[in-house]
Amino acid sequence: MREVINMTQEADYRQAYETLDSALRQAIRLLSQARLQTALRIKIDNGTLTAEDDTGLEAEIADFLREQEASGPNL
């Protein structure tokens, strides 16, 4: 009987670990995206980065820059 309880607890712990691991991965991804957006906005606001500076940047980042320039300055 005790082995059944331990196996059930182990399965519960494993599921909890997998859930936590997944949540942490998502949080890291979101924080990385936010950090990139913030860095890009700072460069856009300072005028050090424009949509024409997309050499070497991924197309998505260049599109983001164009959208930001079209929407005007961020206050």
Number of domains in the chain: 1
Domain enclosing residue 13, as ranges: 2-71
Token pair of 48 as six digits: 């050090």
pLDDT for residue 74 is more than 60: no
pTM over cut 0.85: no
Question: What region, left, alpha or beta, does residue 28 occupy, with left being phi > 0 and alpha being psi -120 to 50 degrees?
Answer: alpha
pLDDT for residue 75 is more than 50: no
pLDDT tens, position by position, 5-51: 676 788 889 999 999 999 999 999 899 889 888 988 888 888 887 76
Please tell me which residue, 73 or 46, carries the higher pLDDT value. Answer: 46
Q: Which pLDDT value is given to residue 44?
A: 82
* 55-61 contact pairs (CB < 8 A, 24+): 61/36
